[in-house]
């Protein structure tokens, strides 16, 4: 009985954890069913292509659906026009002639698709236009015409479903991914800073940087979809571009930190710098996680006070070490190591201020003036 009682809980948990996949499933299913109904009601010759097109163009976000729709229709139109003209101008009554016409129609389109991926659908369209008349007993021009009509119906149906059935905006996905990137950056920052007082091998640093690189690459793809939505006037939210560029700069800062963290701090300054660096890492990671939560909630960004204090404490300790003349006896490689860390922290500090400004904008708050960022 306990298993049956827990079944609703299990289902609710699965629905919560896989909400995006479930919504996509509903959209694609709706596109397939609706395109079949429309195709059958209009008596298109090959309703299969209407349904397939609707499925193909129904993507995970509206921006991606727009791109798929435009690319698929452009490829179909180009392939239909070219293949229809070739098939109409070159007689092909025999099987050998059909092979020749198919080759002539396909070869240039394959080259075009290799140069411009937007024409990927052109090759399949050419094959259908040339070979469909052998099944439907129509003319090449009719085959090309109906192919365009079938794809247009499927594309419009899929796009309409993407806009109306559980619409997933690329802007929302970009902000959510930016929040996950901030959480990942916070963890990476703590892990890398541990290398200044202990051991951190090259393999561990490479794994950290690889995770950050994959996250940034995903954000680049989603931002391209967001720009398509903005160009089509489908969203009015603030442009996430400045936020994503700031995340890229933070990623570059951690690359420099990672290089510096490969070698622990010199032994004679480690006791004095270890504690300020540990506090800085904790405050900075907490700030990044708070920014992540603010993005998800679309709320006011967290104060920068704790992180500012930690940055200033480290700078003050470095200044004290210099005043005491301890850096004069340091070997050049150790001194360079210390300067590299200082440069990375200066950049990180500035980018934290920028981050607060862009998180505030996504939360609906007016842009933060530079003199107010520290507040």
Q: Examine the pLDDT at 232 and tell me if it is beyond 50.
A: yes
Q: Examine the pLDDT at 181 and tell me if it is beyond 90.
A: yes
What's 310's domain CATH number?
1.20.58.220
130/277 same-domain check: no
The predicted-structure confidence for 184-228, as pLDDT tens digits, reads as follows: 999 999 988 888 877 677 888 888 889 999 999 988 888 888 887
177/128 same-domain check: no
CA distances from 212 to 98, 243, 281, 286, 344 (A): 52, 16, 17, 18, 17
154/257 same-domain check: no
pLDDT for the residue 184: 94
Query: Among 127, 147, 163, where does a domain finish?
Result: 163
Among 23-27, 217-221, 320-324, 361-365, the minimum mean pLDDT is found in: 361-365
The predicted-structure confidence for 245-302, as pLDDT tens digits, reads as follows: 999 999 999 988 888 887 777 777 777 888 888 899 999 999 999 999 999 888 888 8
Look at the chain and report how many structural domains it folds into: 2
178/159 same-domain check: no
What is the C-alpha separation between 327 and 47, in angstroms, rounded?
78
297/222 same-domain check: yes
Buried b / exposed e over 264-292, threshold 16 CB at 10 Å, is bbbeebeebbbebbbbbbbbbbbbbbbbb
Query: Among 132, 148, 163, where does a domain finish?
Result: 163
What is the value of pTM for the model shown?
0.72
Q: Examine the pLDDT at 17 and tell me if it is beyond 90.
A: no
Compute the average pLDDT of residues 295-324.
Answer: 87
User: Residue 32 corresponds to which tokens in the numbers above?
Assistant: 């397939």
Rg (CA), the chain: 29
CA 250 to chain centroid = 17
**332 and 266 in contact (C-beta within 8 Å)?**
no
The domain of 253 spans: 170-372
197/304 same-domain check: yes
Compute the average pLDDT of residues 10-39.
Answer: 82
155/174 same-domain check: no
pLDDT for the residue 366: 52
User: Residue 162 corresponds to which tokens in the numbers above?
Assistant: 């993407």
Compute, in degrees rounded to 10, the torsion defined by CA atoms 143, 146, 147, 152.
170
24/86 same-domain check: yes
Contacts of 91 (CB under 8 A, 6+ apart): 97
Nearest to 59 by CA among 174, 153, 220, 170: 170
CA distances from 31 to 73, 75, 146, 150 (A): 16, 20, 20, 14
234/204 same-domain check: yes
Q: Beta-carbon neighbour count of residue 177 at 10 Å?
A: 21
Q: Examine the pLDDT at 171 and tell me if it is beyond 70.
A: yes
Q: Examine the pLDDT at 82 and tell me if it is beyond 90.
A: yes
272/238 same-domain check: yes
Question: Which of left, alpha, beta for 142 (phi over 0: left; psi -120 to 50: alpha)?
Answer: alpha
More confident call, 175 vs 367: 175
Query: Among 124, 146, 163, where does a domain finish?
Result: 163
145/271 same-domain check: no
86/223 same-domain check: no
- Measured at the CA of 355, the angle between CA 283 and CA 295, to 5 degrees, comes to 90
**75 and 125 in contact (C-beta within 8 Å)?**
yes
Q: Examine the pLDDT at 306 and tell me if it is beyond 60.
A: yes
């Amino acid at each position: 009985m306990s298993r049956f009682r827990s079944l609703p809980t299990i289902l609710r948990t699965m629905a919560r954890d896989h909400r995006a996949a479930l919504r996509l499933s509903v959209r694609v299913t709706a596109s397939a069913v609706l395109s079949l109904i429309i195709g059958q009601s209009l008596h298109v010759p090959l309703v299969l292509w209407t349904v397939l097109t609707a499925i193909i163009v129904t993507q995970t976000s509206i921006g991606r659906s727009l791109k798929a729709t435009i690319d698929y229709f452009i490829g179909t139109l180009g392939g239909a026009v070219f293949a229809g003209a070739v098939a109409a101008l070159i007689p092909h009554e025999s099987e050998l002639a059909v092979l020749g016409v198919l080759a002539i129609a396909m070869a240039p389109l394959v080259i075009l698709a290799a140069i411009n991926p937007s024409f990927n659908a052109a090759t399949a369209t050419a094959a259908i236009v040339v070979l469909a008349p052998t099944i439907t007993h129509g003319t090449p021009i009719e085959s090309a015409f109906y192919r365009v009509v079938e794809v247009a119906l499927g594309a419009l149906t899929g796009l309409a479903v993407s806009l109306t059935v559980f619409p997933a905006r690329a802007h929302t996905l970009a902000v959510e991914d930016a929040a996950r990137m901030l959480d990942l950056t916070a963890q990476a920052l703590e892990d890398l800073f541990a290398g200044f007082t202990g051991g951190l091998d090259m393999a561990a640093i490479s794994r950290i940087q690889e995770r950050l690189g994959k996250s940034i690459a995903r954000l680049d793809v989603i931002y391209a979809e967001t720009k398509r939505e903005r160009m089509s006037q489908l969203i009015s939210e603030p442009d996430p571009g400045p936020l994503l560029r700031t995340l890229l700069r933070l990623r570059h800062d951690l690359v420099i930190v990672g290089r510096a963290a490969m070698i622990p701090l010199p032994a004679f300054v480690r006791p004095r710098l270890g504690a300020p660096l540990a506090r800085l890492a904790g405050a900075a990671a907490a700030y990044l996680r708070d920014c992540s939560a603010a993005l998800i909630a679309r709320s006011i960004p967290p104060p920068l006070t704790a992180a500012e204090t930690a940055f200033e404490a480290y700078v003050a300790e470095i200044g004290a070490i210099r005043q005491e003349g301890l850096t004069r006896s340091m070997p050049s490689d150790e001194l360079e190591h210390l300067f590299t860390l200082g440069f990375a922290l200066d950049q990180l500090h500035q980018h934290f201020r920028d981050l607060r400004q862009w998180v505030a904008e996504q939360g609906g708050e007016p842009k933060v003036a530079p003199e107010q960022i520290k507040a």
